[in-house]
């Protein structure tokens, strides 16, 4: 058989895990390398998964575990900083009418579900391992792994995230750029009565919001103008977030009272990245955050990454010929869907930074989410 059958996946996040599962199930030998020893099993607070993400998770065979572990809901509330509900908007079911509009869940739990799925398909997994592209030609890629030895692969999938070393190794010079905003996140107990995401605009933060992640938990976040990370000692993270969150009413006083452990608070800047022209060089191809990222104003980061993996795997398993045309076709199919989401996510943040009062945020969100209902 002439079809290439050995693939290296670099990075064990959502996109890398999904690609490994789909390709392995199709009978392709997959090696997955992940730089962190713990496979990111404990990283992060919570994640909002909209329907188009759930659609891919169902294809991966993990939807029942996700459903049992998370919290499904179908609307978002807009509140005043004081906690008064101003408007409740039904969410569009972007994954189809047979899936919830949104599921919130603990990010470590989602990662563990995907880890278990990767283990079950028999892929070779190397943790605490990095990969360096040595050279490549028309038939494959030579890669040196940090745990020893040089290996030959028919294709390398770079799913190594926003700061992708592989992206730089293959000569793609695009780098993430800060958008001007930053976010504080924390996992917390879910107060009685919190049944959906609520967002407060205004007050000391641009946005203060929370998302239920199980029957007993949620994750909460506040978005502010980005600051020099070096000026914020990690030991003060809980105090910093609590100070901002204490200005908000409704469910926030109960949430704020639990923000006491700085090690449980995460602070990151919002970044934008969209690699143009193609997402591959030869037989090395980018997926997920290595190719694109955007602020979480539309909660589409994980969904787009999962879709990348699904589309690439569909193309690779649908033909015996892996060539330039196939990989360029992957880019063209994805860029038409990813670009509007990146641009809309950045625009929503820009309107807030510029204090634009008459911005059509609901209209832009509705147009973008309607587009996402279509199959990728």
pLDDT at 149: 87
Please give the average per-residue pLDDT across 253-272, as a whole number.
Answer: 96
pLDDT > 90: what percent of the chain? 93
Inform me whether the pLDDT recorded for 63 exceeds 50.
yes
Q: What is the pLDDT of residues 5-55, one digit of tens each?
A: 899 999 999 999 999 999 999 999 999 999 999 998 888 889 999 999 999
> What are the CA-CA distances from residue 294 to residues 29, 181, 232 (Å)?
32, 11, 24
- Maximum Cα interatomic distance, the chain, rounded to a whole number of Å: 65
pLDDT at 230: 84
pLDDT of residue 2: 53
pLDDT tens sequence across 276-292 = 999 999 999 999 999 99
Query: What mean pLDDT do residues 74-101 have?
Result: 95
Mean pLDDT, the chain, whole residue set = 95
| Contact partners, residue 128, CB within 8 Å, separation at least 6 | 34, 35, 36, 37, 147
Domains belonging to the chain, first-starting first, are: 6-176+271-372 (3.50.50.60)
Contact at 8 Å (CB) between 157 and 285? yes
Please check whether residue 115 is in contact with residue 152, taking contact to mean a CB–CB distance below 8 angstroms. no
- Residue 254 structure tokens: 């109960």
Task: Give the pLDDT confidence score for residue 16 in this predicted structure.
Answer: 98
Top pLDDT among 331 and 376 is at 331
What's residue 1's pLDDT?
43
The structure's pTM equals 0.95
- What confidence score (pLDDT) does residue 224 get? 96
**Is the predicted pLDDT of residue 112 greater than 70, yes or no?**
yes
- Beta strands 124-127 and 29-34 are parallel
Residue 100 has pLDDT above 50, yes or no: yes
pLDDT digits (tens, 9 = 90+) for 307-348: 999 999 999 999 999 999 999 999 999 999 999 999 999 999
**pLDDT score, position 41:** 87
């Amino acid at each position: 058989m002439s079809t290439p059958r050995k693939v290296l996946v670099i990075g064990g996040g959502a996109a890398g895990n999904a690609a490994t599962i789909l390709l392995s199930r199709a009978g392709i030998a997959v090696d997955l390398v992940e730089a962190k020893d713990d496979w990111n099993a404990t990283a992060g607070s919570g994640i909002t998964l909209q329907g188009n993400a759930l659609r891919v998770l169902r294809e991966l065979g993990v939807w029942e575990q996700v459903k049992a572990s998370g919290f499904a809901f179908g609307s978002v509330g807009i509140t005043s900083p004081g906690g008064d509900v101003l408007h409740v908007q039904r969410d569009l079911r972007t994954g189809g009418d047979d899936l919830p509009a949104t599921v919130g869940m603990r990010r470590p739990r989602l990662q563990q579900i995907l880890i278990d799925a990767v283990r079950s398909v028999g892929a070779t997994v190397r943790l605490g391992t990095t990969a360096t592209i040595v050279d490549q030609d028309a038939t494959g890629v030579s890669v040196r792994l940090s745990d020893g030895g040089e290996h030959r692969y028919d294709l390398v999938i770079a799913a190594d995230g926003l700061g992708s070393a592989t992206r730089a190794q293959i000569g793609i010079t695009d780098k993430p750029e800060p958008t001007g905003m930053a976010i504080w996140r924390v996992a917390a107990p879910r107060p009685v009565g919190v049944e959906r995401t609520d967002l407060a605009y205004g007050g000391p933060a641009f946005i203060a919001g929370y998302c239920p992640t199980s029957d007993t938990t949620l994750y909460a976040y506040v978005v502010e103008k980005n600051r020099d990370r070096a000026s914020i000692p990690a030991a003060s993270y809980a105090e910093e977030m609590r100070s901002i969150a204490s200005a908000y009413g409704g469910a926030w006083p109960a949430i704020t009272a639990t923000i006491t452990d700085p090690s449980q608070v995460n602070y990151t800047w919002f970044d934008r990245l969209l690699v143009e022209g193609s997402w591959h060089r030869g037989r090395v191809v980018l997926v997920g955050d290595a190719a694109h990222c955007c602020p979480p104003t539309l909660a589409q980061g994980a969904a787009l990454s999962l879709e990348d993996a699904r589309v690439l795997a569909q193309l690779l398993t649908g033909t015996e010929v892996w060539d330039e045309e196939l990989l360029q076709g992957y880019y063209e199919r994805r860029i038409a869907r990813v670009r509007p989401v990146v641009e809309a996510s950045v625009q929503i943040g820009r309107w807030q930074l510029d204090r634009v009062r008459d911005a059509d945020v609901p209209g832009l969100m509705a147009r973008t989410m309607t587009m996402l209902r279509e199959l990728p």
